[in-house]
Structure formats: structure tokens, C-alpha cells
């Protein structure tokens, strides 16, 4: 599965960074290209929470239904697609030096096969790395305000 890995370091406490990332209402404000991130269940946080998501990359809108498949408060959030665009994104939180927080981010995706997959890859692959870097900057700015 192609993907991007990134590490974010911030002077903000791990609890605050985790709470910000874990709050679905914040996602469109800091995750690059996300135009929709709406709960589809009454549960809005933790293992099993499910969301309808839309990410716009270039001219293409990629829709997915994501479910939290791993969740440990202040440590990890992993969302995996259960329908639509095949993606898995994970956020792992750890204490860094001098009270900093280190967040390891992964964004993995699978393109469909054939011509459709190659066409979609030509659109999204050039911007995925840039998208993760912009997400990192936006997240850091939001939690350090």
C-alpha cells in the first residue's frame, strides 16, 4: 500500500494534541483537502466511531467511510476505510524532550486497478507528500495557539 510517513513535534502537551486530533469537528480545519468529516454513528470518539469523509485533491473528490480501528487515549488513533476510497491513517503520540509531544503520522492508501487506478494515481500521488506536510504545519499551528 503506498503511503506517506511524517513526524510532527510540538511544544504542546500530549493530552492537548491528542484531544485536538481526536475531536472530529477540528479535522477539516487542519487535515489537508478534507471538506467533510461527519459522524455516521452516535459515538463520535474512540474505538468503533465511524465518519463520512470527503477529501478533495486537485479536481478529484475522494469519498470514504472511515472507522476508528485502534484507539488508546493520549497514545493512538487509527482510522481505516470500510467503504469508498481505500485509506488508513494513523496517529501515534509520545512524550518528547522538554515537555514536547512527538506525533508519528502515517497515511496509507490503495488505488483501484486498471486504467481508473492509474488515472487516479496520476492525480493524487504528486500531492500526497505535500498534503501530509501541510497537514503537519496546520496541526502544529492549531495546537500551539
Calculate the alpha carbon distances from 27 to 24, 120, 138 in Å.
Answer: 5, 24, 10
488508546: which residue's cell? Answer: 72
What is the model's pLDDT at position 2?
A: 55
Rounded Cα distance, 59 and 86, in Å: 18
Contacts of 1 (CB under 8 A, 6+ apart): 88, 108, 109, 110
- Give the domain ranges of the chain: 3-143
Give the integer Cα–Cα distance in Å for 36 and 84: 14
Q: Distance (Å, rounded) from C-alpha 22 to C-alpha 75?
A: 11
C-alpha cell at 76: 493512538
Mean pLDDT by 10 residues, the chain (145 residues): 74 93 92 90 96 84 94 97 90 91 84 65 63 74 82
Tens-digit pLDDT profile for residues 54-64 = 988 777 788 99
CATH of domain 3-143: 3.30.530.20
Amino acid at each position: 500500500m503506498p503511503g506517506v510517513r511524517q513526524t510532527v513535534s510540538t511544544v504542546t502537551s500530549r493530552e492537548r494534541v491528542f484531544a485536538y486530533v481526536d475531536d472530529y469537528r477540528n479535522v477539516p480545519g487542519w487535515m489537508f483537502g478534507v471538506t467533510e468529516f461527519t459522524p455516521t454513528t452516535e459515538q463520535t470518539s474512540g474505538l468503533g466511531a465511524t465518519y463520512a469523509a470527503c477529501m478533495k485533491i486537485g479536481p478529484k473528490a475522494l469519498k470514504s467511510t472511515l472507522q476508528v480501528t485502534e484507539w488508546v487515549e493520549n497514545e493512538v488513533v487509527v482510522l481505516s476505510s470500510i467503504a469508498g476510497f481505500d485509506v488508513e491513517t494513523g496517529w501515534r503520540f509520545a512524550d518528547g524532550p522538554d515537555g514536547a509531544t512527538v506525533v508519528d503520522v502515517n497515511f496509507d492508501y490503495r488505488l483501484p486497478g486498471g486504467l481508473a487506478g492509474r488515472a487516479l494515481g496520476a492525480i493524487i500521488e504528486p500531492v500526497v507528500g505535500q498534503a501530509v506536510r501541510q497537514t503537519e504545519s496546520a496541526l502544529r499551528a492549531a495546537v500551539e495557539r
